[in-house]
Amino acid sequence: MSSESHDAQPSDGVAQPTGDEVARPPRNDIEPAEPIENPGLPEHLPRPTDVDPKLEKRAERQVAGMFTAAIILTIGFCVAYFTIPKDAVIFGWFSLNLALGLTLGGALFLIGIGAIQWAKKLMKDHEIIEMRHPARSSDDDREAALGVLDEGVAESGFGRRPLIRRSLIGAVAILGLPAIVMLRDLGPLPGNKLFHTVWRKGMRVVNDVSGIPLRPSDIEVGQLVNAQPAVFFETDSHGHAVFHGTELLQAKAKASVIAVRIRPDDIKPRKGQANWDVDGIMVYSKICTHVGCPISLWEQQTHHLLCPCHQTTYDLADGGKVIFGPGKRPLPQLPLAVDSDGYLIATSDFHEPVGPSFPEVNQHRD
């Protein structure tokens, strides 16, 4: 390398550096990096089942045992589906859902474990190297594959044996039937259930945890109380809860409410709802009209109620109007009064469906 300046005098057709240019080492002075050595494949060690026929036979029996148990569990699933009543609880903990989950889950688990055992213990385990190649087959290969397919169709007699063809198509088509049978679990159509809750005229509004009926004096200005209809805490003449189990959960999912107290001067009632509060106490559905989350994030200064799921915000001083978020309908309000004992009561059911909207939500249903 030289730092002396000299004129560019091409002698072999290559320009020489001038005094102003920085001389760089010729490219062939850079040493190429060492190539990575191919580590090759590790030495193949035979497994116990490769060398001992007894172990091989035992592994085979284990795998077959798992697959057989999977068959039995699948049949158990079908038997449980048709024989165990939906609401039955056996030994205080065993139910239809548990039986279905255990049998089908167990069958899938055993098939998976059996397949893994088969592959690990019995299938050949030598390494195979496949070189990369273009994904698309050559035209010759494609033509050959189509030829093989045509030949297979011709040899199978699929076209010549309509009886087999039709019965096969029928057998495959009917495989969709079990999926349709399971639709039974969706139950009968809802009828007018979406338009009603358990709230009735004269039903008391009670604290949702203690079941104690609420008086107007129990709720201060700015306070929010989670509440329920009194019927969820009542018993029949035999001492049994009027609502229990799934029925209670379904009824609660529609009838849960919140009671809030706002200064009467701040309230702007919706049309036709002027007398639905008691001294500023208003009861609204607790179920968001977007997709049905329960709401109780309350901001007492602004009278805003925020749904934690997708932030729909309702103004409870303004008839439950949506002021932000994806909800499309105001929060339904329950008309309120006080009974002769001084407790808060509903004067009717909600006048509109509670919870998420649906296509017929604005149609009147008795």
Which parts of this chain interact with ligand FES (CB under 6 A)?
288, 290-293, 307, 309-310, 312, 325-327
Question: Which letter, b or e, does each residue of 195-230 get, where b requires 16 or more Cβ atoms within 10 Å of its Cβ?
Answer: bbbbbeeebbbbbbeeeebbebebbeeeebbebbbb
The C-alpha atoms of residue 68 and residue 48 are separated, in whole angstroms, by: 24
| Residue 205 φ/ψ, nearest 5 degrees | -95, 120
Instruction: Tell me how far, at minimum, the Cβ of 69 lies from ligand FES, in Å.
Output: 44
Identity of the residue, 201 or 310, whose beta carbon is nearer to ligand FES in the bound complex: 310
Beta carbon nearer to ligand FES, 231 or 306: 306
In the bound state with ligand FES, the residue whose beta carbon lies nearer, of 103 and 289, is 289
Pick the closer one to ligand FES by CB: 214 or 307. Answer: 307
Q: Give burial (CB, 10 Å; 0-12/13-18/19+) of 277.
A: buried
Minimum distance from residue 289 beta carbon to ligand FES (Å): 8
Residue 258: its H or E element? strand 257-261
Residue 226 sits at the vertex; the CA angle it makes with 224 and 230, to the nearest 5 degrees, is: 130
CA-based nearest residue to 117, from 76, 184, 65? 65
Shortest CB 194 distance to ligand FES, Å: 17
Strand partners, 261: 281
CB 227, CB 204: distance < 8 Å = no
Nearer to ligand FES, 194 or 338 (CB): 194
The distance of closest approach from Cβ of residue 296 to ligand FES in the complex, given in angstroms and rounded to an integer, is: 12
CB of 313 to ligand FES, least distance (A): 9
Q: How far is the CB of 291 from ligand FES (least distance, A)?
A: 4
Distance of CA 124 to the CA centre of its chain: 40
Cα dihedral: 247, 346, 193, 232 (round 10): 0
Nearer to ligand FES, 197 or 312 (CB): 312
**Least gap, CB of 357 to ligand FES (angstroms):** 11
Of the pair 59, 288, the CB lying nearest ligand FES is at 288
Pair 71, 114: CB distance under 8 Å: no
